Structure 1
Amino acid sequence: MAVHFHEEDLPDGVLAGSGAIAVDTETMGLVTPRDRLCVVQLSDGSGDEHLVRFGPGSSYDAPNLKAVLGDPSRLKLYHFARFDLAALQHYLGVMAAPVFCTKIASRLTRTYTDRHGLKNLVEELLGESLSKQQQSSDWGGPVLSEAQRDYAASDVRFLHRLQAELAVRLEREGRMHLAQACFDFLPARAQLDLAGWPEADIFAHA
């Protein structure tokens, strides 16, 4: 298992294939248009993780990365896909779908708890430990520390295994069709966020 670090794009041929891709992002904050995209993490589940860093003033011209993210035949695995989809759309101009979101799957199956963070899922479902210590660190600095790189990689390291476990639970509880409807709506939800409706429930009567 290795963590591979790349500047501004994936090298040619990296992550080529047809299997599901785990995806995560690191940004300067939680307001997508304001807080720039700094790192995109990816894994195909084979044991290696790839980190693509974008520096200040980046043009986000990353054709290899965009090709992987924009491939409509490859499932993308996320934890809280809504945020990552919006960031990738805003900065890279690509809607990285189709989607499986482990946070939504957890909410639909683990109704016995309100703990749906990635750390909680990894610990309960996989018996692994996940540190979130670097979550709020400065991702826009000139150098990413080894701790930051390890943290970023860990955010995609477990998503394939989580997806497999949560898919079993969704089938067991008879909620796979409902989950799939939610996953299919996530690109539109991300676009609503970007268009100015981040919190308003446009389906509400009021």
Structure 2
Amino acid sequence: MTIQYINRPEQLPQLCEQINQEPWIALDTEFLREKTYYPKFCLLQIAAPGWVACIDPLAITDLSPLLESIYNPNIVKVLHSCRQDLEIFYQITGRIPGPIFDTQIAAPLLGFQENPGYAMLVSSFLNINLNKAHTRTDWSARPLSEDQIEYAADDVIYLCKIYTMMCEQLEKLGRLNWLDSDFALLNNSELYQLSPENAWLKIRGKNKLTGRQLSILQALSEWREQTAQTENKPRNWLFPDDMLLELAKLQPVTLTDLAKIRNINERSVNRYGKVLCELIDAARQRPPKPLNEKERPTKKTQQHEAIMDVLSAVVRIRAEENSLNPVILATRKELEQLLFGEEDNPLLHGWRFKMAGKELQGLLKGEYSLSLTPDTVVISPVTHQ
């Protein structure tokens, strides 16, 4: 298959015409973000059965005509592990190019493990071992070699074939529409918004801090995120998470105290020390934003553990009936969240709710009952007389 390398604006109209004739296209991006906060968009690969194109966004500054075709709501966009790719589109336009089909999300319905890698799918579906020669390529360097372009194009060529085979198998199993709600969630713009005031939520260990310490962590995390965005640097280049936790615990309010902290960079103290001390001092005087209930560790009793064992049994039964790995249907953690009433739970949405979530919820509410025989577990609605 001839690879179209698009690096001039006058080449875009013909490519757009090709895209607009397709019911679906496979997409992939190459980007760099090791030295920046925002990903640097370096290459866009698009394919459909019969053709493939690699577009150079560094050479073509105005991609508007191409984006208009990609954002056509009548064309399904097929990606693998799409979150970072969609983040790039969101940063360019402020919108997500739905509808989306993510092969990583779909694969478990065909018996794969949760979140399978792309190389695994290529090997399993196509019996091809991916070439790893350009894994570490600097995609911002120009010119790109023929090998680099071919390597990038292969990703979407294979993705087209995998998507076709996946759809055929899912259709045979009657599972193709099970994924609709999962894919619809990917259109939620909040997934791609970089909100400084909520940056603290991603730091592990926050739930072990006292009130004053948590307030300081929240202030420092927000400052770090804003500064990283402004300077377009990776947030950990400013201060890693463990350093923010250390600052929250030690609470230095003078440059002398700050400089005494182990492993803190002298250059960082000189550049940011004053503002850090001011932030810490101010945060000590105010209450923290409350932890979400799901962030608070819940002490489980033996009764709770027994209930989750019962729920796990139901999950195993339903997973076996549908030839699925039980972990794909529900993890122990998700069952715990269901038990304690957390609403943000995959078991309460889409195919998981239909397969097991409704019954599990009904068992917890007393709307379903369990009965046993030597060979079976029977789950039945409770009838009220």
Q: How many residues align?
A: 199
- Range moving further from structure 2, 92-101 or 76-85: 92-101
CA distance in 2, matches of 1:171, 1:194: 34
2:52 is matched with 49
Q: CA deviation at 1:95?
A: 2.1
1:105 is matched with 106
Show structure 1 runs of 5+ residues with no match.
none
- Range moving further from structure 2, 26-35 or 3-12: 26-35
Q: CA deviation at 1:107?
A: 3.2
Q: CA deviation at 1:93?
A: 4.6
Does residue 130 of structure 1 match 2:130? yes
Q: CA deviation at 1:178?
A: 3.6
Q: How does 1:26-175 map to 2 (within 5 A)?
A: 26-29=30-33, 33-46=37-50, 48-55=51-58, 60-111=61-112, 113=113, 116-171=116-171, 175=175
2:194 is matched with 195
Letter in 2 for 1:149: I
Q: Which has the higher contact order (CA 8 A, sep 6+)?
A: 1
1:19 is matched with 23
Q: CA deviation at 1:171?
A: 4.3
Are residues 205 and 148 of structure 1, via their aligned partners in 2, closer, same or farther at CA, if it must alter by over 3 Å? same
Letter in 2 for 1:76: K
Deviations 1:105-161 (A, max 9, x none): 1134334x4672222111111223321321321000121122210111011002222
Q: CA deviation at 1:55?
A: 1.9
Q: Secondary structure at the match of 2:89?
A: helix
Normalising by structure 1, we get a TM-score of 0.82
Show structure 2 runs of 5+ residues with no match.
203-291, 296-385
Letter in 1 for 2:194: A
Identity %: 25
2:209 is matched with none
Deviations 1:61-82 (A, max 9, x none): 2122112211000001101111
CA distance in 1, matches of 2:293, 2:141: 42
Are residues 191 and 37 of structure 1, via their aligned partners in 2, closer, same or farther at CA, if it must alter by over 3 Å? farther
CA distance in 2, matches of 1:18, 1:166: 18
CA distance in 2, matches of 1:160, 1:109: 17
Whether the 8 Å contact between 1:37 and 1:91 is mirrored in structure 2 is no
Letter in 2 for 1:121: L
CA distance in 2, matches of 1:107, 1:31: 34
Question: Which residue of 261, 269, 294 corresponds with 1:205?
Answer: 294
2:286 is matched with none
Are residues 148 and 139 of structure 1, via their aligned partners in 2, closer, same or farther at CA, if it must alter by over 3 Å? same
CA distance in 1, matches of 2:86, 2:35: 13
Whether the 8 Å contact between 2:24 and 2:75 is mirrored in structure 1 is yes
- Range moving further from structure 2, 32-41 or 117-126: 32-41
Are residues 31 and 78 of structure 1, via their aligned partners in 2, closer, same or farther at CA, if it must alter by over 3 Å? farther
Q: Secondary structure at the match of 1:38?
A: strand
Deviations 1:30-64 (A, max 9, x none): 79852211111001221x211111228x7x42122
- Range moving further from structure 2, 118-127 or 166-175: 166-175
Whether the 8 Å contact between 2:39 and 2:88 is mirrored in structure 1 is no
Q: Secondary structure at the match of 1:129?
A: coil
Are residues 32 and 104 of structure 1, via their aligned partners in 2, closer, same or farther at CA, if it must alter by over 3 Å? farther
CA distance in 2, matches of 1:132, 1:176: 32
- Range moving further from structure 2, 167-176 or 128-137: 167-176
CA distance in 2, matches of 1:40, 1:168: 27
CA distance in 2, matches of 1:149, 1:88: 21
CA distance in 2, matches of 1:133, 1:88: 27
Whether the 8 Å contact between 1:41 and 1:52 is mirrored in structure 2 is yes
Which of structure 1's runs of 4+ aligned residues deviate more than 6 A? none
